Amino acid sequence: MKNLHSILLLTVWFCVLGMVPAAWSCEPTELAPGTRCDDIDNDCNGEVDDCNEDFRPPFLRCPIDVLAECPTDTQPDRDSIIGYAKAADDCGKVKLSYDDSRENMCGSFYILSREWYAIDDCGNASTCTQMITIMDNTPPTLSCPESVTIALTANPTPNPDNEIGFATAIDTCSEFAITFEDEEISPCAKIRVIIRTWIAKDACDNESRAEQIVTLTDTEPPVLQIPDPVTLECPTDTAPASERNTGIARCNDPSVQISYIDEVTKGCGRTRIITRMWTATDVCGNVTSAPQIITLIDVVSPAINVSTTAEDNGFIGLHFDATDDCIVPSVFGMIDVGDDKIPVTDGKLMNLSRSSGPPSVRFDHGVLIIATETATLSVHASDGCNANTVELDLFGEQERHIEERSAENPAP
């Protein structure tokens, strides 16, 4: 009661003095636009900081302008390079929104003008503009078919269903077209080389190129005519020649190169089996090979020459050798004296005497001295394939020399 009494007295006192508190006596205050909210009822409507007193727009900050490569997502995102606008207001909540205006350039290349709006509860608004440019500078990824070699008569037109193939491409931004350009060279009449340049170009004229080589060539091997197998007698020349029995391989195309390689299997003496591999190679590298068999034989035995000469002191000179058309034969001589065989060489001197006793053989200063009842010189020769033997009665030769000498020097 005491407090109530004090309040009533204070009220009367203010009224006498003409001093009334603002809460009971209010004069409206006109605020300029942009004036911040305060804690005063400026329009005397009994409310503090209402919308009749909030004329200042919210604070608004746009994300930075963006320059990115497609296919970048342009949706606002605080965690991406696109970003998100920021807004604030001193008096209440702010609503953020945006409108996009898009200008298409080519393909997926476009410019996005993003107008951001910040509006507070009293309808005060702020705007800012963010420019987003999405470029398409990346060419399509081009996959080229493998280079290929085909027959000269084949069709070199691109075809995904055969060995020629067709290029493929991928582009993550825009549509694209695949074309090709051919440049042809012909190094020879039977070869065509196509240099095929594949091109993948997108809507913004970004392009990728790749090269495929298509070679059309003669894949037919040449027709080779080889000589028939032949058997020749040593010492025939086995080199290829049309005028000899060996013959020579032929081809009806003069541009074909003909060569051969011999594989030789040796036999006895000079005999051989020659496997002659003929090869024909045309200008396109096609090859035909075929063997010819050449057999070189030796059926003739060496020829043996045996003779004796009358030497001084009644000695006899032994002479022998052998010849062969294929090879130098081996030759040796033996004198059969009883059961013994005495080796002798060409040009050996001997003194021969007839004896009915046991055979006797000795050397005296290089002279072979033989005493026996019979003596036969055997000369043997071999060419490795064939052998020959010639025998000569030495006593008969001795008697012939004596007769010839007597005829040359008759007794008076």
Domains of the chain: 59-135 (2.60.40.10), 145-217 (2.60.40.10), 230-297 (2.60.40), 303-408 (2.60.40)
Kindly list the distances between the CA atom of residue 204 and the CA atoms of 68, 74, 105, in Å, as whole numbers in the listed order.
15, 20, 8
Identify the DSSP state of 247.
B
CA gap 368, 117 in Å, rounded: 142
Question: What is the reported pLDDT for 181?
Answer: 97
- What number of other Cβ atoms are within 10 A of residue 155's Cβ? 11
Higher pLDDT, 264 or 48: 264
Q: What confidence tens digit (pLDDT) does each residue in 291-350 have? A: 999 999 999 999 999 999 999 888 999 999 999 999 999 999 999 988 889 999 999 999
Own/partner pairs, 366-375, CB within 8 angstroms, 24+ separation: 367/315, 368/335, 368/342, 368/344, 370/335, 370/337, 370/342, 372/337, 372/338, 374/336, 375/335, 375/336, 375/337
Q: How confident is the model at residue 229 (pLDDT cuts 50, 70, 90)?
A: very high
Cα–chain-centroid distance for residue 303?
63
Locate 221 and state its tokens.
Answer: 């091997």
Average pLDDT of the segment spanning 27-33: 46
Locate 173 and state its tokens.
Answer: 């931004």
Query: Is residue 50 over pLDDT 80?
Result: no
Q: How confident is the model at residue 254 (pLDDT cuts 50, 70, 90)?
A: confident
Q: What confidence tens digit (pLDDT) does each residue in 365-408 have? A: 888 999 998 999 999 999 999 999 999 999 999 999 988 888 88
Order across the sheet with 330-337: list the strands. 340-344, 330-337, 376-382, 387-393
